[in-house]
């Protein structure tokens, strides 16, 4: 089934109006309450244009006027804030084993979170819609208050669920890769990732997402919309999956604490089990974590040389291992990245962990609202 582009998150090619909408939204969100004059000063956009944008937001009830600020002479500056009481979104992540959901206002204030086991593929669509209905009911948000649904998917075949959500609920819905959603959550919420150019690594599969301001590049996007560089952001699942590496070692009959931690069940070997064994100085688990860190570091160094990010955020599981994986990652980047790219580079850990993808899906849903404002 061909997925219509209108049901996917907007990735690139924003026009000037869309860029300014997002720029102003992010500034209002960060400041909480701000004057038009402050927006003009912070963005460099002239006062008349700022007023036009703000008036448009007010007309669409996305922003509220909040009275007047203290005047330093002349007319008192009008204050504005996001209209968080009337505008909500829902973010959903269809993971490999769970479906996670979050209700958020447009300021990214999380109101409620729910999750459920992921059923068989043919039942996922119905499970997602039921979870959305449960979230709306439990959060007591009126249906009219939900302005958009964001959907993070671990497999592109679930992109079509966005169209089903819109058909069933009448709410605009957009889908995109879980890694992209997680990346945007980190960029919006992780204060250490508040930079113009951020590279996010979804480490368990080695997938990369490069964010330039409010635009992003991801190899998970439709091939039609890729440029040549994006193939370097593709997952390296065969080499980087911690769980797959652990299962290979166990199947060879190698003695390891991971077996007891998984209660002797191969299916019980998870990323958490491998990391727990590594922290307990299990040699096999330590080797897997070290090798994964080396491979990640090699990949990150290549991407740093290609995209010159200011910040590299590592999520998707590696953050839980701490220095066991971060030390080899950083050593490889320092060894292989160009000196000019290393000068101001920071490599930091994800702060959201497992919560990143559904919160990020909510963030991207808000982004779609303001792109279209």
State residue 255's pLDDT score: 87
Whether 319 contacts 273, CB under 8 Å: no
State residue 39's pLDDT score: 94
pLDDT digits (tens, 9 = 90+) for 312-325: 999 887 888 889 99
Query: What value does the mean pLDDT take over residues 26-37?
Result: 93
pLDDT digits (tens, 9 = 90+) for 254-298: 889 999 999 988 989 988 899 999 999 999 999 999 998 998 899
- Architecture of the domain defined by 195-350: 2-Layer Sandwich (3.30)
pLDDT, averaged across the chain: 88
Q: How far apart are CA 338 and CA 201, in angstroms?
A: 19
Fold exhibited by the domain 16-82: Arc Repressor Mutant, subunit A (1.10.10)
State residue 226's pLDDT score: 45
The dihedral formed by the CA atoms of 40, 41, 43 and 48, expressed in degrees to the nearest 10: 20
Equal CATH topology for 16-82 and 195-350? no
Q: How far apart are CA 88 and CA 224, in angstroms?
A: 32
Lowest mean pLDDT among 157-166, 236-245, 362-371: 236-245
Query: What value does the mean pLDDT take over residues 178-184?
Result: 91
State residue 300's pLDDT score: 92
- Short-list 362, 343, 328, CA closest to 203: 328
Query: What value does the mean pLDDT take over residues 129-150?
Result: 92
Whether 149 contacts 155, CB under 8 Å: no
For 35, phi then psi, to 5°, come to -95, 160
Planar angle of CA 256, 261, 265, nearest 5 degrees: 90
Model confidence at 77, pLDDT cuts 50, 70, 90, reads: low
Q: What are the domain boundaries of the chain?
A: 16-82, 86-182+357-371, 195-350
State residue 228's pLDDT score: 52
State residue 225's pLDDT score: 42
> 5 or 40: which carries more pLDDT confidence?
40
State residue 206's pLDDT score: 73
State residue 6's pLDDT score: 56
The yes or no reply on domain 86-182+357-371 and CATH 3.40.50.12780 is: no
Whether 90 contacts 362, CB under 8 Å: yes
Locate tokens 């912070």: which residue?
A: 42
State residue 3's pLDDT score: 38
* Neighbouring C-beta atoms of residue 29, cutoff 10 Å: 19
For 67, phi then psi, to 5°, come to 85, -150
Locate tokens 């400041």: which residue?
A: 31
Lookup: tokens for 221: 């996007």
Q: Exposed (0-12), middle (13-18) or buried (19+): which is 230, by Cβ within 10 Å? A: middle
Entry pTM: 0.86
Task: Flag whether pLDDT at 242 surpasses 70.
Answer: yes
State residue 202's pLDDT score: 86
Lowest mean pLDDT among 5-14, 18-27, 97-106, 326-335: 5-14
Task: Flag whether pLDDT at 67 surpasses 80.
Answer: no
State residue 224's pLDDT score: 43
With left for phi above 0 and alpha for psi between -120 and 50, is residue 311 left, alpha or beta? beta
Q: Where are the alpha helices (DSSP H) in the chain?
A: 16-31, 36-43, 47-59, 121-139, 161-169, 178-189, 237-240, 242-251, 257-261, 271-279, 283-307, 323-336, 339-342, 356-371
Query: What value does the mean pLDDT take over residues 173-179?
Result: 92
Task: Flag whether pLDDT at 60 surpasses 80.
Answer: yes
By 3-state DSSP, what share of the chain in percent is helix, strand and coil, each rounded to 5? 55, 20, 25
Task: Flag whether pLDDT at 72 surpasses 70.
Answer: no
Sequence-distant (≥ 6) Cβ neighbours of residue 195 within 8 angstroms: 309, 310, 311
Lookup: tokens for 303: 């991407």
């Amino acid at each position: 089934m061909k997925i219509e582009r209108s049901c996917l998150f907007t990735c690139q090619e924003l026009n000037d109006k869309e860029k300014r909408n997002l720029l102003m939204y992010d500034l209002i969100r960060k400041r909480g309450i701000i004057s038009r004059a402050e927006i003009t000063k912070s963005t460099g956009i002239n006062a008349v244009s700022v007023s036009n944008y703000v008036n448009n937001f007010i007309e669409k009830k996305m922003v509220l006027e909040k009275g007047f600020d203290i005047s330093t002479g002349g007319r008192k500056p009008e204050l504005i804030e996001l209209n968080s009481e009337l505008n909500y979104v829902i973010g959903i992540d269809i993971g490999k084993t769970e479906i996670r959901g979050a209700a958020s206002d447009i300021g990214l204030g999380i109101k409620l979170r729910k999750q459920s086991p992921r059923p068989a593929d043919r039942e996922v669509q119905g499970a997602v819609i039921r979870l959305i209905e449960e979230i709306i009911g439990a959060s007591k948000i009126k249906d009219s208050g939900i302005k958009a649904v964001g959907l993070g998917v671990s497999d592109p075949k679930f992109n079509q669920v966005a169209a089903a959500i819109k058909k069933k609920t009448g709410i605009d819905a957009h889908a995109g890769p879980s890694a992209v959603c997680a990346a945007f959550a980190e960029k919006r919420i992780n204060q250490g990732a508040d930079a113009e150019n951020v590279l996010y690594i979804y480490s368990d599969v080695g997938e990369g997402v490069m964010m330039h301001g409010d635009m992003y590049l991801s190899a998970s996007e439709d091939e039609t919309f890729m440029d040549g560089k994006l193939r370097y952001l593709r997952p390296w699942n065969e080499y980087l999956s911690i769980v797959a590496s652990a299962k290979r070692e166990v199947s060879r009959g190698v003695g390891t604490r991971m077996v007891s931690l998984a209660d002797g069940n191969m299916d019980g070997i998870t990323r958490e089990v491998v990391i727990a064994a590594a922290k307990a100085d299990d040699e096999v688990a330590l080797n897997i974590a070290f090798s994964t860190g080396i491979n990640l570091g090699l990949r990150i160094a290549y991407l740093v040389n290609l995209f010159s990010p200011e910040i590299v955020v590592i999520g998707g599981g590696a953050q839980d291992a701490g220095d066991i994986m971060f030390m080899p990652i950083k050593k490889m980047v320092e060894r292989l990245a160009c000196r000019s790219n290393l000068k101001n580079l920071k490599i930091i850990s994800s702060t959201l962990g497992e919560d990143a993808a559904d919160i990020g899906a909510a963030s991207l849903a808000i982004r779609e609202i303001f792109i279209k404002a």
